[in-house]
Amino acid sequence: MTEGRRPWVVGVSGASGTPYAAAVLRGLLAAGLPVDLVLSRAARLTLLDETGIAWNDAPGAWPAALADWLGRTLAGGQRPDRDELAGQVATLVRVHSHGNLAAGPSSGSYPTRGMIVVPASTACVAGIALGLSKDLLQRAADVTLKERRRLVVVPRETPLTGATLRHLVTLHDAGAVVAPASPGFYAGATDAQALVDFVAGRVLDAAGVPNELFRRWTGELGAARGGSTGPGTVEGDQGG
Ligand SMILES: Cc1cc2nc3c(=O)[nH]c(=O)nc-3n(C[C@H](O)[C@H](O)[C@H](O)COP(=O)(O)O)c2cc1C
C-alpha cells in the first residue's frame, strides 16, 4: 500500500513577518514536502503591506502570487530560481481559504504531518490557546493539538502583554513548540535575509524538517566570522 499525500499545514496570520513565512515555505518545498497553506484575513494586509502582493485564494490566482512571493528575498545577491519555485508550487501546494471550515485541515481524520503558524499574531496565539477556531487557521491548529501532532507557533510581537505570555504558556503546556521570531547572531549573518533564514531554519528544526538554511553552531567561538578563538574559549580567558 502506498502512503497518500500527508502535508504540513502552514498558517500565516496577520503579524508582521511575511519573509519568515516565505522562508519556511521555501524550506518545506526544497525538502520535497507537500504543504496545505492558509492565510488569515489579516495576513492579506501584512502581505500587501510588506510585499505589494494582493493575495487571492481563487485557484486561478494564488499559484502565480505564491511563486512571486517565494521568489522574493531581502538579500540583494542570489535569488531563488523562479521556474523551480513555480514547479514546486504547482506540484506540492494546496491553498485553502481562511473561511472554508470544510477544508481538509479542519478535521482530525485528514492526514497531516503537523502545522506551523508563521508568523503568529497575538490574536491568533490567543485564539489557538483558547480553542476559539474562529477561522480555518485556528481550527487547523486546534485539530493539530487534539490529534497530538506537532504544532510550531512563531509569535511576532514586542513587547508582550501578560495575556499573550499566559497564552504562550498554555500553548507550550498543550504540547506546541513556541519558537519566537528571534534571530541569533552567532551564525555569521551579514544581511537581513540571513537573519530571517536563521529563524526559519530553527522553526523547521522544531518541526523535524531537514534544512540547511543557516550555519549551525560548531562549538568554536568566532567560527562563523571565519576566525576562531578555540573551542569553548573566550579571548583573554586562557589565563597566564
Ligand atoms: C501592517 C500590520 C502589521 C501588524 N503586525 C502585527 C504584529 O507584528 N504582531 C501582531 O500580533 N499583530 C500585528 N498586527 C495586528 C493583527 O493583524 C491583528 O491583531 C489581526 O486581528 C490578527 O488576525 P489573525 O490572527 O486572524 O491573522 C498587524 C496588523 C497590520 C495591519
Please give the pLDDT value at position 23: 98
70-92: pLDDT as tens digits: 999 998 666 788 899 999 999 99
Instruction: Provide the pLDDT for residue 22.
Output: 98
In this predicted structure, the answer to whether residue 204 has a pLDDT above a threshold of 90 is yes
Residue closest by Cα to atom 3 of ligand 1: 16
Q: For the chain, give the mean pLDDT.
A: 93
Chain segment 96-151, per-residue pLDDT in tens: 999 999 999 999 999 999 999 999 999 999 999 999 999 999 999 999 999 999 99
Task: Kindly state if the Cβ of 13 falls inside 6 Å of ligand 1.
Answer: yes
DSSP 106: G
5 has a pLDDT exceeding 60: yes
Residues with Cβ within 8 Å of 196's Cβ and at least 6 positions away in sequence, in order, are 19, 20, 23, 73, 74, 183
Beta carbons within 8 Å of 179's beta carbon, 6+ residues apart: 152, 153, 154, 199, 202, 203, 206
- Asked if the peptide bond before residue 159 counts as cis, ω within 30 degrees of 0, the response is yes
Is the CB of residue 42 below 6 angstroms from any atom belonging to ligand 1? yes
**Sequence spans of domains, the chain:** 8-225
CA distance 192 to 198: 10
How far is residue 30's CA from residue 221's CA, in Å, rounded to a whole number?
30
Q: Tell me the CA end-to-end span of the chain in Å, nearest whole number.
A: 67
- Give the mean pLDDT of 12-25: 98
Which pLDDT score, from 0 to 100, does residue 214 have? 96
138 lines ligand 1 (CB under 6 A): no
Residue 187: closest CA among 156, 211, 221: 221
Decide if pLDDT at 227 tops 90.
no
State which fold the 8-225 domain adopts.
Answer: Rossmann fold (3.40.50)
